[in-house]
Amino acid sequence: MPSMKKTSKHATSYFLLMFVIVIIVTIRFFLHDNLIHTPNSLAPSFQKGLQSLWIRRNFFKNPTKSLSALLYNNTTGFNLFLRNLSTPRAHQAASSVDRILCPINSILVNATCLCKEGYQGEGGRAPCNICKAGTFSSSRGQEHCQPCAFSANSLEGQTYCEQCVNETLNKRVLIFTMDSLKTTLEAVKSGGPAGEIFVRTSLETVLTSLGFKIDVADHDMSFAAYSNQALGAKCNYYRFFIMDPWTWIERAPSGMLYRARPILAGRERDVFILDFFGNKQLSLAGVSLNFPTEQRLSAFPTNFGGSFLGFFYSNQTLSKAMEASKKRVVVMNETAGNASSTDGQQLRGVVWGKKPEYLEKGQGIISAVLEKCELVSFLPQMGNLQAKFPRLHNLGYKTKEEFREILASSKFLLGLGDPLSGPSALDAMMVGAMYLNPSFPNKNSDYPEELKSFYTSQHPYMAEHGGAYVCSFNMISRSEPDQAQLYQCVERALRSKLEPQIPRHFTREEYESRVRSIFARYL
Q: Pick from 58, 83, 101: which residue ends a domain?
A: 101
Per-residue pLDDT of 10-25, as tens digits, reads 556 556 656 656 565 4
φ, ψ dihedrals at 90, nearest 5° = -65, -40
Q: Is there a single domain that holds both residue 164 and residue 177?
A: no
d(CA 238, CA 216): 12
Q: How many CB atoms lie within 10 A of CB 38?
A: 16
* Sequence-distant (≥ 6) Cβ neighbours of residue 362 within 8 angstroms: 351, 353, 416, 417, 418, 479
Q: Percentage of the chain surpassing pLDDT 90?
A: 37
Q: Which of 171, 174, 330 is nearest to 248 (CA)?
A: 174
Annotate 432-452 with three-state secondary structure: CCEEEEEECCCCCCCCCHHHH
Q: Is there a single domain that holds both residue 344 and residue 378?
A: yes
pLDDT at position 331, please?
40
Per-residue pLDDT of 180-214, as tens digits, reads 887 776 666 655 667 889 999 999 999 999 999 99
Classify burial at 63, counting beta carbons within 10 Å of its beta carbon; exposed 0-12, middle 13-18, buried 19 or more: exposed
pTM of the shown model:
0.67
- Establish if 241 belongs to a structural domain: yes
Q: What's the sign of the alpha-carbon dihedral 477, 479, 485, 489?
A: positive
CATH number of the domain where residue 147 is located: 2.10.50
Q: What is the mean pLDDT of the chain?
A: 78
Per-residue pLDDT of 206-233, as tens digits, reads 999 999 999 999 888 999 888 888 876 6
Q: Would you say residue 147 has pLDDT above 70?
A: yes
- Establish if 69 belongs to a structural domain: yes
Of 32-41, 169-178, 334-343, the range with the lowest mean pLDDT is: 32-41
pLDDT at position 3, please?
47
DSSP letters of 300-332? S--SSSSEE----B-HHHHHHHHHHHHHT----
Q: Is there a single domain that holds both residue 290 and residue 327?
A: no
CA distances (Å), 350 to each of 377, 415, 416, 477, 485, in order? 6, 9, 11, 22, 18
First to last CA, the chain: 84
Q: Which domain holds residue 246?
A: 172-308
Confidence of residue 114 (pLDDT cuts 50, 70, 90): very high
- Establish if 226 belongs to a structural domain: yes
Q: Is there a single domain that holds both residue 415 and residue 481?
A: yes
pLDDT at position 150, please?
64
Q: Pick from 78, 101, 124: which residue ends a domain?
A: 101
- Establish if 192 belongs to a structural domain: yes
Q: Which of 405, 517, 421 is nearest to 470 (CA)?
A: 421
Per-residue pLDDT of 405-459, as tens digits, reads 899 999 999 999 988 888 999 999 999 999 999 999 877 777 777 777 788 899 9
